[in-house]
Structure 1
Amino acid sequence: MSGLSGWIGYGASAADNQGVIEKMAGPLARFDGHAVQTAPLARAALALAAPEGSALLYRHEGVALALWGNVALRDQALLAQAGEQGLGQTLVDLWRRAPQAVCEALHGAFALAIVDEKSGEALLATDRMATFPLSWRLAGETLVFGTTMDAIGLHPATPHEIDPQGLYNYVYFHMIPGPATVHKHVQRLQPGYCLTYRQGRVETKPYWNMDFTHGEGAGESFGTLKEEFKSLLRSAVAEAAEGTQIGAFLSGGTDSSTISGMLTQVLGKPAKTYSIGFEAQGYDEMEYARIASRHFGTEHHEYYVTPDDVAAAIPQVAAVHDQPFGNASALPAYYCARMARADGVTRMLGGDGGDELFGGNERYSKQHVFAIYDRVPAVLRKGLLEPVVFNFPAGDAIKVVRKARSYIEQAKVGMPARLETYNLLGRYGAAQVFTDDFLKSANLGDPLACLERDYGRSEAKTLINKMLALDFKITLADNDLPKVVRSCELAGMDVAFPFLNDALVAFSGRLTPQQKLNGTQLRWFFKEALKDFLPMEIITKEKHGFGLPFGVWLQGHPQLQALATDSLSDLRQRGIVRPEFIDQLLGQHLKEHAGYHGTMVWVLMMMEQWFRQRPQA
């Protein structure tokens, strides 16, 4: 993965700052080993580590720029200028004229930092989907930043301090929604956001927002959109595959199959594809990956993850994340990327983003069904339906009545809180999980406040588009992208996401709500447009993915049991989780339903493993 780090507003000389920036640069390349470049100034410094072709470090007369990513300039005048004087100087000149214009000019996945010690100004930015993360902290007049928070904690002005709210939100979401982090005073830039720094003051604001206006209007014909979509998709895959030894994740789902098939077309030869399987009933999807591979003629590679693999990789997966991260799919993603790296592949293509752009998540159709209730006249709902359903004699014993009650109860919960109706922490109860002292330092309403803030940020008018906009942030930027990017970093692998190509993202905004969710039919346009490309078994299969059978394996694997028990035993000493809850979780709960309660074991175990990798935390 690599990345960048640096600061502005601290130091006495470039020589003095060299040692500090070298220390901060240490975490950037600790897993993938890319060469580190540094640019120390008297009152600022930058460090950068990235694969060749993805790194630009520029320094001239008190100004330094670090750009990490695979970016392009679409503006012809800027392209010409960059050809004459170099990309670094071109971007600095543009920044001086119009800071936000720099971000708008860059297309692709990137993290950017510009510091000018003479004027006391700086700019930080991440791409439109926050594919490449960038965190920051202001301490007095010193702005410290990095693509890993570990680098920020190594600066003398910004030592880390754990934020209990971050830990609470982690257990609630199994990740920590930005802009907050697990560290006090450290924040992450949101997707499509930039930060400007002037003489000790900072301001963050969006330079890009998803535009649904066109799609929520008249829309366009299916035939025209279909051909444009396939052309944009092919271009996005070709751009992501350029100049590298390329491979693709292939789970057998719609998105990974599409990317793998398009990659074979682009290359003009069988693409290298990689799949992970599990020897556990109900979890193995390898047959669908084989169907896709046969259909497109890919050079396919498989690996079956074992419980021993899980036990061996848990500490490593915890270590590569700069804050607690509980998505168990990170582990199979790591083994998949590691298999490809051993095969000589240097960049993997992931299918992430397809669901969030084109309407593929099951919750979209479920919420559509709940929203129907809102359209029933209030007088009918409150005067007839609800009294009949909730006062029906012996209703608890009648299945159809119980279902009706459950439906109405959920439908009456407003969005986006309704998305968390079955939240795991909510089911246990925060007071049953956390100690009293810990709960005094956390706001239990903060998780839903985070959702409401992000849900309300979109200007979309329709339910499906408001959910998609929320998922760009919560599902992609906070969860799925860190999972894949960090897992690939651990394997020494670069990764790209063709569906998140700027042109494809903009195209998806032009689709009508019905083209994304046709009644309860998910991703209608996508499947119709590709039904002559994808095998029918893939189009009609139920969504699955790289789910990990951790809870099931935990029941019968001594090494996993020992690791989980040891981790949760140490966690109970931190005063965060009630010891009696841990006892109940490892005893009664797992015996009752290993798959369900195993998720909480994983979340708590990964939190403890993250603490162990960072003794200073």
Structure 2
Amino acid sequence: MDGIFGWLGDHGAHQDLIRHMGRAACLSPEGLLQQHSSQVLGVAACSRFGKADIHVENGLAAALHGRPRFLDDELAQIARDQNPAMAVAYGWLRFGEKLPTLMHGNFAFAVIEPLKKKACLALDRVGAERLCYAQRGGHLVFGSSVQNVAAHPAVGRSIDPQAIYDYLYFHTLPAPRSLYQGVRKLLPGQIVTLKNGTLSSGFYWQADYAAVDADFDSHRRDFRAILDQAVRDADAPVTAAFLSGGTDSSTVVGALTAARQAPVDTFSIGFDAAGFDEMEYARCAAERYDSRRHEYYLKPADIVTAIPVIAREYDEPFGNASAVPTYFCAQAAREAGFERMLAGDGGDEIFGGNVRYAKQRLFETYARLPALLRHGMIEPLTLLPGLSSRFPLAKLKSYVDQAKVGLPLRLESYNFLHRTPLEQIFATDFIDAVDPSAPGAALSEAYERTASDHYINRMMHLDLKFTLADNDLRKVGTMTEAAGIEVRYPLLDDRLVAFANHLPVDYKVRGQKLRWFFKEALRDLLPEQIINKTKHGFGLPFGVWSTQYAPLGELVGDSLADFKQRGWIRPAYLDHMLAMQRGPHASYYGVMIWLTMMLEQWLQANEH
């Protein structure tokens, strides 16, 4: 993998430490490792894809990972004529903490001034890249990977029990928490500064949801122009595109085809399992744009192949099972000779495409009913003896119970860890070591931080952080890189994100219609079949296949048997999950089994 890492603080054996930190994060041996160290600092960059660099001059060190676009003309010229890391160094001297506001695109950077004992870390607006840090024993340590930072002797690898709980709750480890105690991760749009030994953090950018007053045609013209430019800027030689058959990937392929005025190579994944395959939609889009179609049908054996890859490539436990098809799709592109791919991630989170946005409108309506009607008539109905458990009152009771839970916690009503008492799932010592309310507090913090009072905008802001930055971008970015592919996200171009944020709320979700403006503005580009399709996703039939394919089932059984020794989840509950998965609940329990299996596989692959 590519990345940057380093430290500020007195430490001997600098070269040995740089090599140690680099090996800890499995930095690509094919990448060029650039490094610089002195008595009080070290910086290094490994760049297989040419997107990481360092610059050291006059006592200042800058490390950059990503492909930023500098808005200042002088810095843009330095980046173009010299290198982007030099532009970061010069930009810091000129603009100080204002520098990241003058950068667009994907980036993470660190600037260190050892003589002044100052440092600055910053991450791009959507969290396409990643940056971690720790302050320990007079050292500030940073790195693209949690493993970089934890490998520094001042930090160490002490697993945080709360991180294990958060992983099982979210299926990933959302920033700022990391797997290790004392190691933190920057949030999208965040800047962290060190001055006089004190760390402080804030946001140099926050999503602005103030609606711009314009008619549909004006918005549509602006949207199409920005989309066209974003796709053109993301395109490069030897680039292909993901094509799932969803609205976003189809939009990217259609816009790229129009920009090139030539067919595009597209890569799609299919599943030979009822309810999971969407290849017909991918083919529909490919036919519309006359794409050069590449298809691969995933098999159960592929999951067995992918599991050790996932365990090795992620710097923390990662439980999104769709990492498997992502990896094989990217691998197919690499084998076909491609070096880059465009992905459609982000459209749902900025244009209002997630089903829960429309669903929550129904619950929010209940809160606006007169209190007398809610408390005096509806809620008593749900408590009628002998009737409240029967249809339709049972349905009404479920609706009322959920409506009474405020956002964003209501979104987690069906979370696996809310469906069963924690005492039945976890060992007592583990429960005593964690705060089960911490995930809810993290969700509420991001939800309340939104620069809008409207619940739709607040849910979208929440998803930008938890669904996109913490999950989907980690999934796609890590798996494409593991396959030898660099990925770019044209729908997350800063100009497009800003445009979408400024749309009126009912342009995003109109009644029960998701992405109303997006679909209306692209009716001439997207096939009607895709505009009207039901949202599906890039799922994986793991729960079913693990009961049908013996090698996969054996891997599951062995992993959970080993996991029992960790003492976190009760062995009886692990056995219960396996038994339930073999019955009619294969998909439901398969999710938790996958999470647990991947946690054990990751721990085995990364225990040092």
Q: CA deviation at 1:123?
A: 1.1
Q: Percent identity?
A: 42
2:514 pairs with 1:522: yes
> Whole-Å Cα distance in 1 between the matches of residues 43 and 516 of structure 2?
46
Structure 2 counterpart of 1:191, from 164, 175, 188: 188
Structure 1 counterpart of 2:205, from 205, 208, 211: 208
In the TM superposition, what are the counterparts of 1:287-306 in structure 2 within 5 Å? 287-306=280-299
Cα distance per residue 1:329-380 (max 9 Å; x no partner): 0111001011101111111111110000000000000111110001101111
Which residue of 1 is the match for residue 226 of structure 2? 232
2:270 pairs with 1:273: no
Cα distance per residue 1:50-98 (max 9 Å; x no partner): 2455233211122111111111112234435667876544432332344
> Whole-Å Cα distance in 1 between the matches of residues 329 and 87 of structure 2?
39
In the TM superposition, what are the counterparts of 1:14-29 in structure 2 within 5 Å? 16-27=13-24
Q: CA deviation at 1:463?
A: 1.0
Cα distance per residue 1:503-556 (max 9 Å; x no partner): 001101110000000011100000000011100000001111210000010111
Q: Judging changes above 3 Å, is the alpha-carbon distance between structure 1 residues 109 and 393 closer, same or farther for their aligned structure 2 residues?
A: same
> Whole-Å Cα distance in 2 between the matches of residues 413 and 88 of structure 1?
48
> Whole-Å Cα distance in 2 between the matches of residues 459 and 287 of structure 1?
40
Which residue of 2 is the match for residue 341 of structure 1? 334
Which residue of 2 is the match for residue 469 of structure 1? 461
Amino acid at match of 1:471: D
> Whole-Å Cα distance in 2 between the matches of residues 314 and 429 of structure 1?
30
Amino acid at match of 2:217: G
Which residue of 2 is the match for residue 115 of structure 1? 112
Q: Report the TM-score, using the length of structure 2 for normalisation.
A: 0.97
Q: CA deviation at 1:31?
A: 5.0
Unaligned runs of 5+ residues in structure 1 are none
Q: CA deviation at 1:292?
A: 0.3
Structure 1 counterpart of 2:128, from 128, 131, 136: 131
Q: Judging changes above 3 Å, is the alpha-carbon distance between structure 1 residues 351 and 81 closer, same or farther for their aligned structure 2 residues?
A: closer
> Whole-Å Cα distance in 2 between the matches of residues 346 and 32 of structure 1?
17
2:497 pairs with 1:505: yes
Asked if structure 2 preserves the Cα contact closer than 8 Å seen for 1:255 and 1:351, the reply is yes
**Deviates most, 120-129 or 73-82:** 73-82
2:37 pairs with 1:2: no
Amino acid at match of 1:9: G
> Whole-Å Cα distance in 2 between the matches of residues 576 and 144 of structure 1?
30
Amino acid at match of 1:348: M
Amino acid at match of 2:191: C
Asked if structure 2 preserves the Cα contact closer than 8 Å seen for 1:114 and 1:123, the reply is yes
Structure 1 counterpart of 2:435, from 443, 448, 466: 443
Asked if structure 2 preserves the Cα contact closer than 8 Å seen for 1:516 and 1:524, the reply is yes
Which residue of 1 is the match for residue 325 of structure 2? 332
2:64 pairs with 1:70: no
> Whole-Å Cα distance in 2 between the matches of residues 5 and 295 of structure 1?
45
> Whole-Å Cα distance in 2 between the matches of residues 590 and 82 of structure 1?
57
Asked if structure 1 preserves the Cα contact closer than 8 Å seen for 2:269 and 2:325, the reply is yes
Asked if structure 1 preserves the Cα contact closer than 8 Å seen for 2:3 and 2:145, the reply is yes
Q: Judging changes above 3 Å, is the alpha-carbon distance between structure 1 residues 27 and 247 closer, same or farther for their aligned structure 2 residues?
A: farther
**Deviates most, 411-420 or 113-122:** 113-122
Q: Judging changes above 3 Å, is the alpha-carbon distance between structure 1 residues 285 and 52 closer, same or farther for their aligned structure 2 residues?
A: closer
Which residue of 2 is the match for residue 367 of structure 1? 360
Which residue of 1 is the match for residue 371 of structure 2? 378
Q: Judging changes above 3 Å, is the alpha-carbon distance between structure 1 residues 324 and 89 closer, same or farther for their aligned structure 2 residues?
A: closer
Asked if structure 2 preserves the Cα contact closer than 8 Å seen for 1:272 and 1:300, the reply is yes
**Deviates most, 321-330 or 583-592:** 583-592
Q: CA deviation at 1:396?
A: 2.1
Aligned residue for 2:269, secondary structure, equals strand
Unaligned runs of 5+ residues in structure 2 are none
Structure 2 counterpart of 1:492, from 484, 490, 500: 484
Structure 1 counterpart of 2:179, from 178, 182, 192: 182
> Whole-Å Cα distance in 1 between the matches of residues 417 and 79 of structure 2?
52
Asked if structure 2 preserves the Cα contact closer than 8 Å seen for 1:248 and 1:348, the reply is yes
2:586 pairs with 1:594: yes
Which residue of 1 is the match for residue 216 of structure 2? 222
Aligned residue for 2:392, secondary structure, equals helix
**Deviates most, 583-592 or 607-616:** 583-592
**Deviates most, 278-287 or 45-54:** 45-54
Length, aligned pairs only? 608
Aligned-CA RMSD value: 1.6
Which residue of 1 is the match for residue 46 of structure 2? 49
> Whole-Å Cα distance in 1 between the matches of residues 151 and 82 of structure 2?
35
Structure 2 counterpart of 1:100, from 97, 101, 104: 97
Q: CA deviation at 1:115?
A: 1.1
Q: Judging changes above 3 Å, is the alpha-carbon distance between structure 1 residues 54 and 381 closer, same or farther for their aligned structure 2 residues?
A: same
> Whole-Å Cα distance in 1 between the matches of residues 102 and 388 of structure 2?
61
Asked if structure 1 preserves the Cα contact closer than 8 Å seen for 2:49 and 2:486, the reply is no
Structure 2 counterpart of 1:162, from 145, 159, 162: 159
Aligned residue for 1:592, secondary structure, equals coil
Q: Judging changes above 3 Å, is the alpha-carbon distance between structure 1 residues 85 and 134 closer, same or farther for their aligned structure 2 residues?
A: closer
Q: Report the TM-score, using the length of structure 1 for normalisation.
A: 0.96
Cα distance per residue 1:477-526 (max 9 Å; x no partner): 11111011111121111111111101001101110000000011100000
> Whole-Å Cα distance in 2 between the matches of residues 502 and 433 of structure 1?
42
Q: CA deviation at 1:27?
A: 4.7
Asked if structure 2 preserves the Cα contact closer than 8 Å seen for 1:42 and 1:117, the reply is no
2:550 pairs with 1:558: yes
2:352 pairs with 1:355: no
Amino acid at match of 1:159: G
Q: CA deviation at 1:199?
A: 3.6
> Whole-Å Cα distance in 1 between the matches of residues 544 and 29 of structure 2?
32
Cα distance per residue 1:252-294 (max 9 Å; x no partner): 0000000111111222221111011111111111110000000
> Whole-Å Cα distance in 2 between the matches of residues 424 and 267 of structure 1?
46
Q: CA deviation at 1:41?
A: 2.5
